[in-house]
Structure 1
Amino acid sequence: MSELHAPRSLIVTLYGAYGRESAAPVPVAELIRLLAAVGVDAPSLRSSVSRLKRRGLLESSRTDEGAAGYALSADARQLLDDGDRRIYGRPAPELADGWVLAVFSVPESERDRRHVLRSRLAGLGFGTAAPGVWIAPAALYEETRHTLERLELGPYVDLFRGEHLGFSATAESISRWWDLGSIAKLYEEFLERHEPVLRRWEHRGADAESAYRDYLLALDSWRRLPYADPGLPPELLPRDWPGGRAAEVFAELHTRLRDAGSDFVQLNGRTARRTEA
């Protein structure tokens, strides 16, 4: 298994792609089979599932047949639903939509909460406008609110909507708020790994296990990028920005492989199918 694909991440990716069609738990034996196909051994799987349980994302349960299994918690479903809007094609941002500002203050005695808050805002795609003032496109407001409420961080934060009025040009300011070079590199690495996979599938027939494996690995790589990239309006980005091409490659892989791989998955007694764009 590649170092790029941690077992815990692959488990979340599997549930996001194929494990939400019903509330029924996924049997442990199925998790072992499906994760083995992408290089995760059983001990690593069990260790990662335990961590996800402690984080409140998975809940142990029994299937109708009495087998041990794991189901998504309500919080996990909310996280995945929020993620769908980013991962499967968020609307093109417009500069006129404005920005959401998160202004926070955390007492020194609760320094650990300050670290969690900063980490979550960064994980949502916020940039730093000033100490204690973080900024993101306004489209991220609802997801930000859900996340802060889930982590009980709301009392430390005020959220505002607004527009940038100067004094420097907005296109210049965002290079201070975000590291665009690092984000572009992530897109380039995605293209380097997964564009050749797409090219191969353009010249081969459907094979359920291979389609599942290639799709899950591509999704596991891709789903991080819309969080590193906050979704800035095109007029604020460099002319050769690789994000558009990377999004096209993922969309083509999703269309070509997602349902083709579902025949290998067969969760809860039926082929799992979704209709994301």
Structure 2
Amino acid sequence: MEDDDILDTTEGPQPRPQSLMLTFFGNHVLEEGDLGVYSGSIIDVLGRVGVGEQAVRSTLTRMVNRGLLQRQREGRKMFFGLTPQAGRVLIDGRTRIWKQGAVNDDWDGSWTLLGFSLPDSWKRQRHDLRSRLTWSGFGALYSGLWIAPGHVDVSRVVTDLGLTAHVKIFHAQAAEVTDIEQMICDTWDLESIAARYVAFDKRWSAHLGNGTDHDPIGTRLRLVSDWLRTIRTDPRLPARHLPPAWPARPAQETFHRVAQQTHPALTAARATLETTHLRS
């Protein structure tokens, strides 16, 4: 399975159906354990954000085939729930969204460095490793040496990809002669990261001024999916080494304001979604 298919690290004007599908399950299923949702309910909710029925059905089938969803038939209806693999992805996303936050004010001065050397023919493995490292907050200091702020445990990533013998991981601090601000500018595309936050804040600040929300379920689905896409390539760099007025802070405040407004959607969804408990 390609990591980009799970993490949706590709660029584009709109999130892909699979990204929205994972957000849907993260919003309404992750906390419920073995819950399965009727395909008709999924079609209804994703239809609110512009995903057609055929796209929903094909995405559900593809995600089952890739081990992200499990399905269970009851009579003429098909119900879908999370697999352990998808659960791990969503738990990671939940931590990034609701616990860590986008602003790193408590950096301890440490860095995690990962060096790798792969055969030239291992293009797929190299792509997978880089995708997973980007999601984990790493940037390319040099071609085969990646760095991330803080103590980042990527041992499972390396093991899952079967690259343990080709990777070396270190935890260290920069010497005083190192210009950390310059290193950050050289390693990460700060302009692009900042632009994502500015665009998010603009979109959702406008939403806050629109008054009554007639579809909080659809709004929350769009909101969380959009925020996850915004923070996905942000390594949470130490705030004290970023440019003044870094836009992640106001964007995060806007996210939480809209999230608070749409929180009743979680209760509303429980009343409208047709569900069942999946058999082990």
**Aligned: 1:244 with 2:256:** no
Structure-2 separation of matches of 1:122 and 1:176: 15
Would you say the 8 A contact 1:93–1:232 is kept in 2? no
Would you say the 8 A contact 1:93–1:231 is kept in 2? no
Q: Which residue of 2 aligns with 1:42?
A: 53
Residues 53, 155 of structure 1: alpha-carbon distance in 2 compared, 3 angstrom cutoff: farther
Deviation at 1:166, TM superposition (A): 5.1
Q: 1:256 aligns with which of 233, 253, 261?
A: 261
RMSD: 2.3
Q: 1:161 aligns with which of 156, 171, 179?
A: 171
Would you say the 8 A contact 1:197–1:214 is kept in 2? no
Deviation at 1:229, TM superposition (A): 0.9
Q: 1:175 aligns with which of 174, 185, 188?
A: 185
**Aligned: 1:135 with 2:147:** yes
Structure-1 separation of matches of 2:219 and 2:65: 29
Q: Which residue of 1 aligns with 2:62?
A: 51
Structure-2 separation of matches of 1:103 and 1:70: 40
Q: Which residue of 1 aligns with 2:17?
A: 7
- SS of the residue corresponding to residue 229 of structure 1 reads coil
Deviation at 1:153, TM superposition (A): 3.9
AA at the equivalent of 1:262: T
- Identity, % of aligned positions: 30
1:186-236 deviations in Å (ceiling 9; x for gaps): 101111211111233xx43x64xx111111111111012222111111111
Residues 148, 93 of structure 1: alpha-carbon distance in 2 compared, 3 angstrom cutoff: farther
Structure-1 separation of matches of 2:275 and 2:130: 42
**Aligned: 1:27 with 2:38:** yes
Structure-1 separation of matches of 2:76 and 2:105: 48
Q: Which residue of 1 aligns with 2:6?
A: none
Structure-2 separation of matches of 1:125 and 1:214: 28
Q: Which residue of 2 aligns with 1:275?
A: none
Moved over 6 A (4+): none
- SS of the residue corresponding to residue 223 of structure 1 reads helix
Residues 154, 55 of structure 1: alpha-carbon distance in 2 compared, 3 angstrom cutoff: farther
Would you say the 8 A contact 2:39–2:79 is kept in 1? yes
Structure-1 separation of matches of 2:256 and 2:166: 38
Report the TM-score when normalising by structure 2. 0.84
1:142-184 deviations in Å (ceiling 9; x for gaps): 3x33433444444432222111215431111100110000000
- SS of the residue corresponding to residue 236 of structure 2 reads coil
Higher relative contact order (CA 8 A, sep 6+): 2
Structure-2 separation of matches of 1:3 and 1:48: 19
**Aligned: 1:104 with 2:109:** no
Segments of 5+ residues of structure 1 without an aligned counterpart are: 271-277
Segments of 5+ residues of structure 2 without an aligned counterpart are: 1-11
Q: Which residue of 2 aligns with 1:273?
A: none
- SS of the residue corresponding to residue 244 of structure 2 reads coil
Would you say the 8 A contact 2:45–2:217 is kept in 1? no
**Aligned: 1:186 with 2:196:** yes
Structure-2 separation of matches of 1:246 and 1:221: 12
As a proportion of its length, which structure holds more helix? 1
- SS of the residue corresponding to residue 86 of structure 1 reads helix
AA at the equivalent of 2:181: A
